[in-house]
Chains A and B, each alone.
Chain A
Amino acid sequence: MAPLAPRSGDAVFASVERVNAELFTLTYGAIVRQLITDLEEVEEVNKQLDQMGYNIGVRLIDEFLAKSNVSRCVDFKETAEVIAKVGFKMFLGVTATVINWDAEGTSCSLVLEDNPLVDFVELPDTCQGLSYCNILSGVIRGALEMVSMKTEITWVRDMLQGDDAYELRVKLLKQVPEEYPYKDDD
């Protein structure tokens, strides 16, 4: 089979089945609320959100590769762009911008241009330190691990913590060189 051309984020998003973002936002809010009630400690909630994201990322990568026709990215730079322009768009309907590459080309920032997780969220005093969107960093880490990229992901800016944007720092720790046995049959 001849390789298909990679599709743009807009094209993929337009072709997939979609739901009202409010259902998504409110459901995510209900999850965070449950975690806060169950786990009490903000740090524990952050960890659990990251874990949930990781679980999602691990499962989401197949769908991503199949629907976007993106073949395995050659380098980390290209990967970051694909996450920002196709990955975010395809699932959340928004895009991100890649900025601040380091000299080695192994770490960069993803700045979200819109964030459907946080509509009307405000952290109460009791939740200071809560990384409300921590699920996103988990998703990226999980997905990249499935394409042999071990990464470390941290929030640099978080509007819920008073910053002026949502910015994730993605640092490539290790890239496993062997071919990823991906089959286009999902």
Chain B
Amino acid sequence: MTLSRLLRCAGVSTAIHRFYPVSVGNQQFVFWIMASTACFVIVSRNDIPIYEAEVGSVLKKEEAAHLHQFILHAALDIVQDLAWTTSAMFLKSVDRFNDLVVSVYVTAGHTRLMLLHDSRNEDGIKSFFQDVHELYLKILLNPLYLPGSRITSSHFDTKVRALARKYL
């Protein structure tokens, strides 16, 4: 199932991807989704999300959470096959939803870094992935971290967000 179809199923209109309505109390606001809108997820080898962050996004929390689900389910299948056709870690964009694109980076141990974004800055995205990959390696090298378990380090979170600001 493609991402756009999933989004439609969930009732997210494809027409509002640029102007996004948000309710605060009984007032409606419409936000322009910034060029840097992105959400970032790390998925374990066993398809379990172990880290999530909304970076530069104005989406409401639950909307963002929905988007994460869509990214996971729609793009994971594509990544599953694509990952075996190249030895590169950076798979570039694997799926799209109008202006939103899913870019993926697969580590040697098949941990997947997935980014839903609307920027076209491929170099920035690649650098972002590479730097997060290195942070992930440091988490993994800790013998007391169980591979595939949730990344709870607040330093990791802070650093990922800083990298997102730098590159995305």
- Find out whether A and B make contact in their complex, taking CB atoms under 8 A apart as touching: yes
User: Which residues of A lie under 8 Å from residue B138 when comparing CB positions?
Assistant: 120
- Asked if B31 CB lies within 8 Å of chain A CBs, one says no
User: Which residues of A lie under 8 Å from residue B145 when comparing CB positions?
Assistant: 122, 124
Q: Which residues, 105 to 147 on B, are CB-close (under 8 Å) to A?
A: 138, 141-145
Residue of A whose beta carbon sits closest to that of B143: A29
Q: Which residues, 53 to 112 on B, are CB-close (under 8 Å) to A?
A: none
- Asked if B153 CB lies within 8 Å of chain A CBs, one says yes
A32, B144: Cβ atoms under 8 Å? yes
Min CB distance B101 to A, Å, is 33
Q: Which residues, 108 to 137 on A, are CB-close (under 8 Å) to B?
A: 119-125, 127
B143, A123: Cβ atoms under 8 Å? no
Q: Which residues, 15 to 70 on B, are CB-close (under 8 Å) to A?
A: none
B141, A123: Cβ atoms under 8 Å? no
- Asked if A65 CB lies within 8 Å of chain B CBs, one says no
Min CB distance B100 to A, Å, is 35
Residue of A whose beta carbon sits closest to that of B149: A124
Min CB distance A164 to B, Å, is 18
A142 to B134 Cα, complex, angstroms:
39
User: Which residues of A lie under 8 Å from residue B153 when comparing CB positions?
Assistant: 122
Min CB distance A93 to B, Å, is 19
Q: Which residues of A contact B (CB under 8 A)?
A: 26, 28-30, 32-33, 36, 119-125, 127
A-B contact pairs, 17 of them (CB 8 A): A28-B143, A29-B142, A30-B143, A32-B144, A119-B141, A120-B138, A120-B141, A120-B142, A121-B142, A121-B144, A122-B142, A122-B144, A122-B145, A122-B153, A123-B144, A124-B152, A127-B144
